[in-house]
Amino acid sequence: MTQRIRIIKTLIIAFSLSFPFSVNAQSVEEIIKGRKAMFSENYQNAKKISILLKSKKIEEAKPLLKKISDNYKKLLDYFPENSKEGFKTEALPSIWENKDEFNALMQKASDDIIKLAKAIETAEDLRKVQKELMWSNCTACHSRFRAPH
Ligand code: HEC
């Protein structure tokens, strides 16, 4: 192998290795503000869903449910070790002390929202299923992992 090919090969490997860590390449400020923005968006969408379901607009609620679920999955990558403080974060240190549990709750919240999208097709009590498969997960996580305010 010539020197040139070897250098090109090294560059390609280095480039492809840096790819999966693209989230970590974001600044701490971008990460903390980014996760706050996704939680806020989820809250706005959850409120819209409640209103839509009050008037039985089931099909209109579905894309918003999908959006919440996708945000939760993205949020799994928004709590790296270097984002414990700063930028008015309300994240508690208990997140990093119980990372597996925290991630499991986030994943459950994401899965439950998909279950909710299915449940609203047949549920008789729409408020009850929203409570069980959406709002209860907010409280379960906040009570342990978000600063009271
Ligand atoms: C698995 C954990 C978890 C779940 C589930 C969760 N949250 Fe949160 N939420 C957090 C954490 C942690 C923060 C603090 C983030 C920060 O300040 O860095 C937060 C912050 C927020 C914020 C404040 C955002 C800001 O601008 O500071 C809102 C609003 C919010 N969550 C709403 C919700 C709602 C509504 C739900 C349910 C539909 C929900 N969250 C589900 C963990 C969770």
Q: Which portions of the chain are predicted below pLDDT 50?
A: none
Backbone angle region of 56, left / alpha / beta, with phi > 0 → left and psi within -120 to 50 → alpha: left
Cα of 131 from ligand 1 centre, angstroms:
16
Cα of 3 from ligand 1 centre, angstroms:
52
Contact predicate 52/65, CB 8 Å: no
Ligand 1, atom nearest to 40 Cα = 29
Contact predicate 24/36, CB 8 Å: no
Please tell me the residue having the least CA distance from ligand 1 atom 2.
141
| 22 CA to centre of own chain | 17
> How many whole angstroms separate alpha carbon 66 and alpha carbon 114?
7
Per-residue pLDDT, 16:
64
**Residue list, ligand 1 pocket, CB within 6 Å:** 32, 35-36, 39-40, 42-43, 46, 89-91, 102, 105-106, 109, 134, 137-138, 141-142, 145-146
Per-residue pLDDT, 4:
83
Structure tokens at 108: 């459950």
Q: In this structure, is the dihedral angle defined by the CA atoms of residues 116, 68, 93 and 77, taken in order, positive or negative?
A: positive
> How many whole angstroms separate alpha carbon 38 and alpha carbon 73?
11
The candidate with the shortest Cα–Cα distance to 115, out of 99, 97, 130, is: 130
Per-residue pLDDT, 125:
97
Amino acid at 120: I
Q: Mind listing the pLDDT tens digit for each residue in 28-63? A: 999 999 999 999 999 999 999 999 999 999 999 999
